[in-house]
Structure 1
């Protein structure tokens, strides 16, 4: 397949296996897992597909040049030599960002500046016209990655981070990132075959991601723009064909997705976001205090939530986490309950033994995704109480 090329999908720490599985299911070739990234091969249409359909990717990069680099001047010279006219016009706009893991290159902003200077100077020297910098909506977004003395120059096909799905207009304090929410739903093993509940739903991110997973709805349909739409090889017909083929793979969902929150403002925001995502038919949100609720009916229930860690609410952690355990024990038999927390001390007060603990990060906070299996009847007391 001569039209295939290598791409790199970036992700959150701990989500590499999820992303690898997603890429495999989409039909990627030559998949290789890294740290916070997975590389793979595909063609132009597949790049469009990845941006639309991957739930755990933050960016899709297209590497165009890799070379050894000695110092800043060497970087400038090598970038200057590249054929930038293939990727943009001299009248266009660009933005450069850089990540560096190197003893020689210690300042990512300076690396980005030198790269930008080399591209701009090349155009000015060859055409007499220079591109301008536009950090918000550039025609070409360029990523520079230096690892020790190896430099990779890539085109950023996504633009704004893919966690910005486009459905969230309203958020609460410390909202959970959409990619993190989708990854947690996937890590928890929920497959849309039973009811789902987020008892502390905030602005509704976990609910929206769970609904899209259940119905196999591509997560990034609502986005206003991808960076590749400004590329010289932008193929709108191909993009629309890919979009249509993904929409044809959506599936029916025959269970309920329920959200609770005690704050009226959170309930209103969550309802707005769910409406923006066109997911109202799958999700119901109520103002409820989880600690006063119990499970309705005897069907299986899958719970996933992001309780306060102390960073965002002034609460008594010990009694709060004890109440989580008590509510699950007394009111939710036949339930798989998962939640994420960075407060590892508070976990001791839940009073239940987790059946799984998965190491994840919420932004920069080292966290655990924990699972509690609430059995029906006497097993519940036998296996759960310490």
Structure 2
């Protein structure tokens, strides 16, 4: 049986607690949330499982050593002490990435990555008179070095490779598509678990719909990915990987409620359906050529409405006030018995919705400061709950 070790899952700012909950539910030990990251403990099989299943992780790092430094020379010398042949062959390929918060180093992450690359190459040349080549796109090993503000350097192996938001299902996108990790995070923040209907009334390329369906069906987030970085590691256990993958596939279930999306653009509907088919979810999601502002709720029972409307920074709006007022009017008159959520960076425009928010959550969309807001839509003249915070 594999022994346990510490790992770090990186994420988007604002999704740390969501990722912590995901890890705990998956069976991680010693889960501790930080800033844009969550530390946890598990074994090799859990590392495979985390990469396959987690919806709000960007990458899973496996730290191999920590050391304190005062300058670049100490960083280089400590990197030379690592037994790199344990992780990489002379004939292999590698790539490096650095993040630095320490004032004692050159304030340039590219320089830190370059220094790491030099140390690894020099290590092999000194011992084997040959060295592995650098391959930025498809290396056998990705090395991540992070130096914190106190000069503590953490050297980690990147087990994911490409960012885990690259699920593998999205072939076609519209303007300003939402990141898959952010999409899943918003859905989980809303409390949706597949136990009611789900509507995205401005669905674009269907990312929110696909992520919602994967949650409802308990489909591992990255089941469609072609590869993970750990598959090229020297100690990769292919048999264990397939056992983990099969165990997750056996837990997939059919959704019990409707999942549907609307878009007023025929091109968006076409792209959405292509992405849905590529994710093998065509039988579970319906996309319709409908303008949300002319629509009504045609499903019965509790419903989560969740969407990513255009806002000034993403797509140009000619009439911001009218657009947000139409959102509020449509929800109020045609979507009773629903919880409506949407994300926006235009905080001022929220006042035009004309409904009282029951929740406001600060979240980042790329470099934009946004609010993820909730409206409770009741039948008749009932007002939203008063706990506005």
What is the TM-score with the length of structure 2 in the denominator?
Answer: 0.96
In structure 1, C-alpha distance between the alignment counterparts of 2:157 and 2:385, rounded to whole Å: 56
- Give the SS at the match of 2:170: coil
Match in the other structure for 2:230:
228
Q: Is the 8 A contact 1:337 1:372 kept in 2?
A: yes
Aligned to 2:128: 127
- Give the superposition deviation at 1:301: 1.6
Q: What SS is found at the alignment partner of 2:261?
A: strand
The gaps in structure 2 that reach 5 residues or longer are: none
What's the CA shift string for 1:125-146, capped at 9, x where partnerless?
1001111110000000000000
Separation of aligned partners in 2, 1:208 and 1:297:
19
Q: Which residue matches 2:80?
A: 80
Contact kept, 8 Å, 2:377 with 2:384, in 1: the verdict is no
1:96 shift after superposition: 0.3
Kindly report which structure 2 residues correspond to 1:1-386, keeping only aligned pairs within 5 A, or say none: 3-105=3-105, 106-148=107-149, 149-311=151-313, 312-380=315-383
1:313: Cα distance to partner? 2.8
Given that residues 325 and 350 in structure 1 are in contact (C-alpha distance below 8 angstroms), is that contact kept between their aligned partners in structure 2?
yes
Matches of 1:314 and 1:328, distance apart in 2? 20
Is the contact made by 1:333 and 1:380 (CA closer than 8 Å) also made in structure 2?
A: no
Does structure 2 conserve the Cα–Cα contact (< 8 Å) formed by 1:329 and 1:380? no
Deviation of 1:377 (Å): 1.7
Structure 1 residues 101 and 225: CA distance shift in structure 2, 3 A: same
**Structure 1: any 5+ residue segments left out of the alignment?**
none
- Alignment coverage as a number of residue pairs: 384
Q: CA deviation at 1:297?
A: 4.7
| Greater Cα shift, 182-191 or 306-315 | 306-315
Deviating beyond 3 angstroms after TM superposition, the runs of 4 or more aligned structure 1 residues are 380-384
Give the direction of change, closer, same or farther, for the CA distance of 1:164–1:378 in structure 2 (3 Å limit).
same
TM-score where L is the length of structure 1: 0.97
**How far 1:382 moved relative to its partner?**
10
2:194–2:257: 8 Å Cα contact kept in structure 1?
yes
Shift in Å, 1:265: 1.1
Residue 252 of structure 1: CA displacement? 2.5
Give the root-mean-square deviation of aligned CA atoms: 1.4
CA distance in 1, matches of 2:294, 2:254: 32
Q: Structure 1 residues 59 and 76 mapped into 2: Cα distance closer, same or farther (>3 Å)? A: same
| Inter-partner Cα distance in structure 2 for 1:5 and 1:335 | 44
Aligned-partner SS, 2:220 = coil
